[in-house]
Amino acid sequence: MNGDMIGRVIKGRYKLIDERGRGSFATVYIVRDLEDNRICALKVMHLELSSDDELLARFQREAHILLNLSDPHIVRIFDYGNDNNMHYIVMDYIDGQNLKYHMINQGAMEPLHAIDYARQIAEGLDTAYKQGVVHRDIKPQNILINSQNIVKITDFGLARGRDTVTLTQSNVFMGTAYYISPEQAESGRSADTRSDLYSVATVLFEMLAGRPPYEGDTAVDIVIKQINDKVPSICRLRPDLPPETDAFMQKALAKAPADRFATPQEFIASLELLTQLMPRDIRSEAGNRPVSKTPAPAPQVKEARIIVLSSGLITPLKGEQMVVGRQDPTLGIYPEISLADKTVGRRHAYLRNQKGTYTVEDLNALNKTRLNGVILTPHEERTLKDGDVLRFGSVEVRFELR
C-alpha cells in the first residue's frame, strides 16, 4: 500500500485523506467518516500479510479488546472489519507524537514530567487490569502523547484477555527487548499486569536517565541482562533524584513478579509518594534547574528567513518551533510556514530556533525533506547555516541568516 490509497473509500464510509505512519505490520491513515464528517485514524493491515493466520488473529484481537476498554489513556476504537480482504480498525485520531519521539528529542526528562507520563500509562493499564487484559508490549513506540500532553496507550495487538484463545506461538519472545519483563522473555504465557508495570518502569527509567536500564549489542544480550543482572542505580545516573527513586526502581524492576507492585494502583500510589519526595527546585512550577544569578551576555540577534526559489516569496522565521506544511482548513491544520503544493505534507517538517541556532527536522513526510540535495533521516535534527537549500516535496527554499 502506498500513496495511491489516498482518496480511496473503505467500506463505503471511510475516505483516506493522508498517511500518518507505516510499520512492518500495518499502515495508519487519517480518514474522514463520511457518515458524520468526523476525522479518525484508520489502521490497515498490509494486504500481503492477510493470509498469515496468526498475524490476522493478532489484528482482530486488538480490535476486540479495544472495543471493550474505555479510558482517557487508551486509544479508543469505533469500528473494525474487512473490505475485500483489507482488514482495518478505525480509532481516535491523536494529534501528537509517540513517546519515543519525545525521548529522542529531549534526552533525559525533567523528573516530574517523566513521572507524570508514567502515572498516566499506569492509569490506562489500571482499566485494562480491571478488565483482565494484559498489554504485553508496553514500550515508548506504543505510547502516544497528544497536543495536550495526555498519554494514549495504543497497539494492543499482543494483548490477552480472560477469554482470549492463546495463539500457538504465544510462548515465543514478544515485545521489545529493552522493555520486556524477565518472565515474559522466558515464556510469554506467564505475563500478567505485573509484567506490564515492569515495562512501565523501564520506560520511566529511560525517561529519567536518557537510556534504558539494560543495554546490549543484540536483543539476546539485553534479554539475558533483564533476566540475570542487578537493577542499575538510577540515582548514579541522575544524582539530583532522591534516594527513594532507587528504592522504587528496585521494587518495580524486581526479577520475580511477586516482589513487584501487584497492581497499577499500588504503582501509582508509589509514584505519587515519589513526587512529594522530589527536591523543592525540581517540584517548582516550571520544573527547571536553579538559574545562575549572573545573567549571561545577550547573544547577537540575527534575523532568519526562507525564500521560495520559484516565486521569491520571503517568510521570516519568528518562532522557536515552526511547522512547515500544507494548510488544510478541513482538518484544522494551519502550519506556521504554509507551502501550497500537493507534494508537501500537511505536517512536513519542523524548523526550530534554539537561541539563534536553527535546525530542520523531517517529520517522516511521504515526499521527504532534503538539505542541500541530501534526503534527511526522519526525526533527526540537522543544523542550518546561511545559504542552505531545503526541499520540502517539490518546493525548494533557501535559508538565510543575516
Among residues 92, 121, 146, the one where a domain terminates is 92
Does some domain include residue 116? yes
**Which CATH number covers residue 376?**
2.60.200.20
Whether 131 and 225 map to the same domain: the answer is yes
Does some domain include residue 314? yes
Among residues 51, 76, 92, the one where a domain terminates is 92
| Listed residue (222, 133, 213) closest to 173, CA to CA | 222
Looking up cell 522493555 gives 179
**pLDDT tens digit string along 150-203?**
999 988 755 554 433 333 333 333 348 899 999 988 875 578 999 999 999 999
Please give the Cα distance from 184 to 189 (Å, whole number).
7
Name the strands in the sheet holding 321-325, side by side, starting at the edge strand that comes first in the sequence.
337-338, 321-325, 349-354, 357-362, 382-383
Whether 181 and 233 map to the same domain: the answer is yes
DSSP assignment of 298-320: PPPP--EEEEETTT--EEE--SS
Whether 177 and 82 map to the same domain: the answer is no
Q: 322 forms bridges with which residues in the sheet?
A: 351
Please give the Cα distance from 46 to 1 (Å, whole number).
7
Rg of the Cα atoms in the chain:
23
Whether 14 and 140 map to the same domain: the answer is no
pLDDT at residue number 34: 93
Does some domain include residue 49? yes
Please give the Cα distance from 59 to 40 (Å, whole number).
18
CB 362 within 8 A of CB 338: no
User: Angle at Cα 100 formed by Cα 345 and Cα 73, nearest 5°?
Assistant: 95
Whether 377 and 278 map to the same domain: the answer is no
Whether 337 and 242 map to the same domain: the answer is no
pLDDT at residue number 14: 93
Among residues 33, 60, 92, the one where a domain terminates is 92
Whether 255 and 121 map to the same domain: the answer is yes
pLDDT at residue number 117: 97
**Which CATH number covers residue 64?**
3.30.200.20
CB 225 within 8 A of CB 212: no
Q: In tens digits, what is the pLDDT along the chain, a chain of 402 residues? A: 445 688 889 999 999 988 877 766 778 889 999 998 889 999 888 877 777 777 787 777 777 777 778 889 999 888 888 888 888 989 888 888 899 989 988 889 999 999 999 999 999 999 999 988 888 889 998 999 988 899 999 887 555 544 333 333 333 333 488 999 999 888 755 789 999 999 999 999 999 999 999 998 888 889 999 999 999 999 999 999 999 999 999 999 999 999 999 999 999 999 999 999 987 666 554 344 333 333 444 445 578 999 998 888 889 998 888 999 998 887 778 899 999 899 999 999 999 998 889 999 999 999 999 999 889 998 888 999 988 999 999 999 999 987
Whether 359 and 266 map to the same domain: the answer is no
**Which CATH number covers residue 232?**
1.10.510.10
Whether 120 and 157 map to the same domain: the answer is yes
CB 179 within 8 A of CB 101: no
Does some domain include residue 185? yes
- Burial (Cβ within 10 Å: 0-12, 13-18, ≥19) of residue 320: exposed
- Burial (Cβ within 10 Å: 0-12, 13-18, ≥19) of residue 256: exposed
Residue 77: count other Cβ atoms within 10 Å of its Cβ: 22
Whether 110 and 257 map to the same domain: the answer is yes
List residues with catalytic annotation. Answer: 137
Does some domain include residue 371? yes
Determine the longest span between alpha carbons in the chain, in angstroms: 68
Does some domain include residue 298? no
Intra-chain end-to-end CA distance of the chain, in Å = 44
Full residue range of the structural domain in which residue 25 is found: 8-92
- Burial (Cβ within 10 Å: 0-12, 13-18, ≥19) of residue 222: buried
| Listed residue (331, 226, 295, 340) closest to 15, CA to CA | 331
Whether 88 and 101 map to the same domain: the answer is no
DSSP assignment of 193-234: HHHHHHHHHHHHHHHHHSS-S---SSHHHHHHHHHHSPPPPH
Count of domains in the chain?
3
Whether 311 and 276 map to the same domain: the answer is no
Residue 397: count other Cβ atoms within 10 Å of its Cβ: 24
**pLDDT tens digit string along 95-127?**
888 999 899 888 899 999 999 999 999 999 999
Does some domain include residue 331? yes
Does some domain include residue 356? yes
